[in-house]
Structure 1
Amino acid sequence: MSRGEPADTRRQFLQRASGAALAGGIAVLAGCTSEQAGGGDGGGDNSTGSSNGTGGGGGDLTLRIGGLFPTSGPYSAIGVDQRVGMEVALRHLEEDGAELTVETQVADTQLDPEQGLRRARELSNGNIDVFTGLGSSSVASAVSNYAQQNQIPLMITTATNESLTGKDCNQYTFRSNTHTYQNQKPNAEWAMQNLGKTFATMGADYAWGRASVKAFVDVAKQNGGEVVEQVWPKLGATDYSTEIQRVASTDADFFLVRCSGTDGINSAKQIASFGLKEQMDVVTNQTSILAQGAGDACVGNYGGVPYHAALSSEQTGNDQNERFVKDYRDIGDGTDPSTYSLTSYMGVRFLAKAAIEAGSTSADDLVSALEGVSLTGPKGEMKIRSCDHQATNALWSSKLVSPEGTDFDYPIPEFLAEHKADTNLRPCEETGCSL
């Protein structure tokens, strides 16, 4: 459920929590967790651009995490979601009595590879043990190379380029979120079985939009699909009328749209106002960001869900999502967690579990412990594969419906089919990854 205006509360959190990061580069985010946690003080002066946070507690093992989040710029909401997800993970580790002290520093990548690399260097100078975060594949690629060169484990939590855990994989890079193929394989298979065989596509004209469309098209063609039209609006476009008219002139069974953020909201509204949904089914993102922004215009849209606050024990097999959503709303000023919140949360939990099981925070010990580690969380069980360091993720095919009768105030997914976590990745021998 969204308490108040989600965009406003995210901005308020950004102003409150990220001010030091924007001004000085690096800011202390959180303290520690340990079996006897308590009585500690946070420390550090953010004005210098490099600061240390120390939490109290009785644990002998300390894990120092450097968070790299885009907390300013066009994707700042994603960065804030990642950051709050990390905070919830720290709270849960403490409440669960983890025998581990966690110290964190965070830095703003501004969604820029050069800035991200600069912030990674600054964090590593602060003696961090691991990196986590990253909101774009270009930034993730730069930091991944740096992490490999300096033997610092990296847990990617948002960047989706498949090659990061594919042909460009390395010993020190791991990923908790889904990549483009992992997202689109079940999406395309379900669409071919339920929506028809002919389709048009629209993807924002940049790396993610094209890669996401390509992944869907490749799988759809393998299942008898036929593309009848493809359009590529500019990233940040405000008028989609030309693209929509081209699609409307086809006899497609459905229309795949791969536009995110503001692009996804604007295109969903214009598709609905044009009346295209009366002519063909529409497949879009199913995120809370889209639903909150587009409102009724996205009701009836199909898509794939890697995570949603509305997931219940019926879908996940446990009640952890209820706890996660409750605590996320508490820390995040009432906003609901997004996919990015969840993958950031799980990334920290994976790192913490690896440190505890290894009894060490040295790079080699963490890498060894992360390979094959499994963890049950708010969306069910996830496991990091040893062969490519990619986490398995369940996904759900869904349709956005009215929230009437629920405690949500924006369209939510009706879950139509589950795609098990171990069914959405390429076989290890086909990833191009050699570790």
Structure 2
Amino acid sequence: MAVTVETLEKLERRITLLLSADTIRIEIESRLRRLARTVKADGFRPGKVPMSVVAQRYGSSVQYEVMNDKVGEAFNKAANEAQVRVAGMPRIAEREGAPEGEIAFDATFEIYPEVKLGDLSAAEVERVSTEVTEAAIDKTLGILRKQRRTFAQRAAAEGAADEDRVTIDFEGKIDGVPFDGGKAEAFQFMLGEGRMLEAFEKALRGMKSGESKTFPLQFPEDYQGKDVAGKEADFMVTLKKVEAQHLPEVNEAFAKSLGINDATVEGLRADIKKNLEREVKFRVIARNKAAVMDALVATAELDLPKALVQNEIDRLVANARAELKQRGIKDADKAPIPAELFQAQAEKRVRLGLVVAELVRSNQLQAKAEQITAHIEEMAQSYEKPAEVKRWYFGDQQRMAEVEAVVIENNVTDFVLGKAKVSDKSLAFDELMV
């Protein structure tokens, strides 16, 4: 008999399933007999427990398992015959009025939507590019020098200045009352790097080792500490130590300390440039990919399956709980995380996934084996031991699937850029790297 699929609303469908009561009964009896061979009960040898005892103890659970299995099989068979693509799990409910000798169930489910891709030639996409300049290389050199800087204590008569490391004791009070986070001992930071409020740093400039000072400080209205935001505090500070920093010279010794093969200043700059160009490439690809995906979704028309959105919300909530657990939050798995926080994000991800899948299917943009290999090899070059990185990827199906997904996204990006109205924009290195 042909399967009848009833349309309820938009993507929601319903199929009525009929199962033979005799088939269910026979399967339950068969499973109970198999169970009886190994079940243990007081007063009986293994394998000799009466069927009545086995049925009394396990009948309900076995019946539940059988019904689940048989309904699942019937639904899958009916969905295949009806040629519907089921999105998410069906909701199953027993139905009254079944023919004699049969049990009826209603399976309510959603189907994948028809995705109507818009005219990509009308889509507008901004494509960015970035050049690795000498200034960018100089800035990276500066960071590397700071990572290897040393410090020497200043003479007692020398006052603290920007780029000095200071060690202080301090205590702040508001209306004469200490507040949380307002006190520390042997607190160390670099003057002029913006770690502390500017008014706090200004008060320390010129102070000498061993000096103490009291000064007022107005917290900004938007200060992250809500309890003190917008309030004025009085701080007592004692400067315990002032240290001047010493940055290593950029020379062959410095290049050698960084493990550069060509241990020259030119070789060091060339190595930095190569690494920056690799990082810039990946960031530019990611930025252009995001612009393409936004344009792609904007041109498409589709309904969203609620089941897929809910699955994505559940996944995002689980990820949030896992992140809390990594931070050491107690009972993170029970943390009350409102699902609605992720509603918009989940809908966006599901919509994008469906649109990309349709574009890939209709334009044969699947990832080719050589593309996946090339992508892994390129990523591996940024590591000290590329061969080990490649083995790490090729040795795990899940990691390979993740790379395949990235390659498909790259294929989609290239395809859309080849169709859309593209405007090119040169982006400053610092702006890209933010």
Q: TM-score, normalised by structure 2?
A: 0.20
- From the two aligned structures, give the one with the greater helix fraction: 2
- From the two aligned structures, give the one with the greater strand fraction: 2
